[in-house]
């Protein structure tokens, strides 16, 4: 075999060897590329699926949280009705309309007493606007009681005709309070509200707004505010005693459109004194404001009553709209202030030369505006 053949053969062999080696490298490169590509797609799909799951989870979480706050912040939610002791609805004066509204099996710490149907069926029939005012006011109190787990009992004041022959229809507050204390024997505090009131800040609880700071916001004496110029002190008055009656004062004296009374032996004795018909018969001709004048008289003359009464700022539970206390229209102590987020507005005396329907419409719309959450604007 010649050298050329050898060279040829060697070259051929070398060429064949290099070709095989290149093919192996190509296969390896192709396999590596495929594996890399496959791994890339696997990683991509994994992250895509995980992100998709996260998005779904976040979306579900957002919807749940949204629905929770939407439902909890509803302006007029449904309310549970407790039908126990139905027979007590006809007890004493002041029958209950859907007697008890609360969401617990035991008596709540606070029970709201709402005076409804005032004047209806006693002196005349109510008109459409009066029915609408009653509906708005009741719905407002139901929503507040439901939000905070309080009780609500709605008292029908048509039973005022029971006392009409004595001309003391307004005095039935004492009688209704005595009845309600029997209906809720384990309740600690009762909050009386007249019908022409609206709770403007439903997120505020009574605990946070009043009772957790009661010593800081109440006056035990008349030194700071005494519109009736009553005697500032009374012998044997003990202001260190716990308060069982929380009231406010306006330009005309004691105001009983919104007040608190504790469920205690003192309160029951006080209500008996307040409701005493003998006292009424002696003084009814000079007591222009009826039960309020009677309370002022008891406060001025009885140290044991004065010792248990505390005075809250009027605007804390009883702010007035413009037009009330017209002689003191420039006094900021009396009138509702939207910027200060006053708790309750009381349209007291709106039926004397003012527009009750216009006032309650205005404040109901304002209440909704102040308490509407940003997210509800996408739906309403």
Higher pLDDT, 218 or 297: 218
Task: Give Cα 171 to chain centroid, integer Å.
Answer: 28
Of 58-72, 265-279, 285-299, 321-335, the least confident? 58-72
Q: Which two tokens stand for residue 242?
A: 């716990």
- Give the H or E element holding residue 327: none
DSSP strand pairing (197-199 vs 322-325): unpaired
What is d(CA 84, CA 107) in angstroms, rounded to the nearest whole number? 11
Of the two residues 70 and 320, the one the predictor is more confident about is 320
**203 by DSSP, 3-state: which?**
coil
Q: Helices marked H in the chain — which ranges?
A: 3-72, 128-148, 172-183, 206-209, 214-217, 265-274, 277-283, 291-301, 303-306, 314-317, 356-371
User: Can you tell me the distance from the alpha carbon of 371 to that of 325, in angstroms, rounded to the nearest whole number?
Assistant: 28
| SS3 state at 94 | coil
pTM of the model: 0.73
Question: Which tokens in the block code for residue 123?
Answer: 């002196």
Q: Which of 154-163, 256-265, 314-323 has the lowest mean pLDDT?
A: 154-163
Kindly report, residue by residue over 159-210, the tens digit of the pLDDT. Answer: 555 555 555 555 678 888 999 999 999 999 999 999 999 999 999 999 999 9
């Amino acid at each position: 075999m010649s050298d050329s053949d050898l060279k040829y053969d060697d070259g051929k062999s070398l060429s064949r060897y290099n070709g095989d080696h290149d093919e192996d490298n190509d296969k390896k490169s192709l396999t590596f590329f495929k594996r890399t590509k496959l791994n890339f797609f696997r990683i991509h799909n994994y992250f895509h699926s995980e992100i998709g799951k996260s998005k779904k989870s976040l979306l579900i979480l957002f919807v749940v949280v949204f629905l929770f706050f939407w439902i909890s912040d509803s302006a007029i939610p449904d309310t549970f009705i407790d039908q126990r002791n139905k027979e007590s609805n006809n007890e004493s004066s002041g029958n209950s309309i859907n007697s008890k509204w609360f969401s617990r099996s035991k008596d709540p710490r606070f029970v709201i007493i709402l005076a409804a149907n005032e004047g209806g069926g006693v002196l005349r029939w109510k008109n459409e606007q009066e029915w609408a005012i009653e509906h708005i006011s009741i719905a407002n109190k139901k929503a507040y009681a439901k939000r905070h787990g309080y009780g609500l009992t709605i008292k029908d004041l048509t039973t005022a005709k029971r006392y009409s022959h004595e001309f003391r229809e307004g005095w039935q507050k004492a009688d209704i309070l005595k009845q309600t204390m029997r209906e809720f024997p384990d309740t600690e505090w009762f909050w009386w509200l007249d019908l022409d009131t609206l709770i403007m800040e439903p997120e505020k609880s009574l605990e946070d707004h009043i009772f957790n700071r009661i010593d800081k916001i109440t006056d035990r004496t008349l030194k700071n505010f005494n519109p009736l110029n009553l005697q500032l002190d009374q012998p044997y008055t003990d202001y260190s005693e716990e308060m069982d009656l929380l009231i406010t004062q306006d330009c005309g004296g004691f105001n009983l459109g919104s007040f608190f009374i504790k469920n205690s032996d003192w309160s029951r004795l006080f209500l008996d004194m307040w409701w005493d018909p003998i006292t009424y018969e002696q003084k009814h001709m000079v007591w222009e404001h009826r039960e309020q004048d009677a309370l002022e008289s008891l406060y001025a003359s009885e140290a044991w009553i004065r010792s248990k009464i505390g005075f809250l700022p009027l605007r804390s539970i009883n702010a007035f709209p413009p037009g009330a206390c017209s002689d003191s229209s420039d006094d900021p102590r009396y009138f509702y202030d939207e910027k200060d987020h006053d708790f309750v507005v009381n349209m007291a005396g709106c039926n004397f030369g003012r527009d009750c329907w216009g006032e309650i419409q205005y404040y109901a719309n304002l209440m909704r505006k102040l308490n509407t959450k940003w997210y509800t604007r996408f739906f309403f």
